[in-house]
Chains A and B, each alone.
Chain A
Amino acid sequence: DTGVSQDPRHKITKRGQNVTFRCDPISEHNRLYWYRQTLGQGPEFLTYFQNEAQLEKSRLLSDRFSAERPKGSFSTLEIQRTEQGDSAMYLCASSPPGTGGSPLHFGNGTRLTVT
């Protein structure tokens, strides 16, 4: 069972630099989500893809953030001009087709530290 894979696991960057994270969902899952988690908080929704279409974006997702899923398989999340407030765990999740109650399957996340 190959679960959701995220790369890299850790990223340290200087303020102002751009960073890109990758997520490979479970292969038969057409739905892909990005979440952000800060210390002491639960995951916060950032954006959602169904196949290659980005269908929802949180207002948390400022214009410095962009996500893509060009072929409906893996996804990338890019943060431009990083700020210290961007330091967080970035979690990717996927779920299978269908409506209603399907749990999200999370990857182990990418921990971003902006210095």
Chain B
Amino acid sequence: DQQVKQNSPSLSVQEGRISILNCDYTNSMFDYFLWYKKYPAEGPTFLISISSIKDKNEDGRFTVFLNKSAKHLSLHIVPSQPGDSAVYFCAARAYNNNDMRFGAGTRLTVKP
């Protein structure tokens, strides 16, 4: 059962524009959400997170938005840079549960 879904396998944007990556989840017990970035031949690297008590968290060029009623979160990158080109994974975890669930990933390509 895929509890975390990233329905767009790929996204291409122009340098300087905004990148918006989307993620949907089905488990209402999830209360902690994360985004990871993965370059080829490397493990996923933590990018930004948000707890369910918030609807927005910002860190530099990266902002994560959480819409609990829609069970949807998104990652905004602005302005996008070529170095942001990577696979982005959405992940979620329920309180006191050690099983962090990941989406299938979205490959972002930022064109110069």
Contact = CB atoms under 8 A, between A and B. Distances in A.
A37 to B, nearest CB: 8
Nearest to A91: B43
A56 B6 CA distance: 26
Contacts of B6: 42
Contacts of B9: 40
Interface in B1-30: 4, 6, 9
A55 B100 CA distance: 14
A109 to B, nearest CB: 5
Contacts of A31: 98
B32 interface: yes
A85 interface: no
A94 B49 CA distance: 16
A52 B97 CA distance: 18
A30 to B, nearest CB: 12
Interface residues of A, number: 25
B104 A45 contact: no
Interface in A28-44: 31, 33, 40-44
A26 interface: no
Given A42-B89, A43-B89, A108 B42 contact: yes
Nearest to B96: A99
A15 interface: no
Given A100-B95, A101-B49, A108-B41, A45 B101 contact: yes
Nearest to B95: A100
A108 B43 contact: yes
A103 to B, nearest CB: 4
Contact of B99 (A56, A103, A109): A56
A4 B32 CA distance: 22
Given A33-B100, A43-B102, A101-B51, 19 more contacts: A31-B98, A41-B104, A42-B4, A42-B6, A42-B104, A42-B105, A43-B44, A48-B98, A48-B99, A55-B98, A56-B99, A91-B43, A99-B95, A103-B34, A104-B46, A106-B43, A106-B45, A108-B41, A108-B43
Interface of A: 4, 31, 33, 40-45, 48, 55-56, 58, 91, 93, 99-101, 103-109
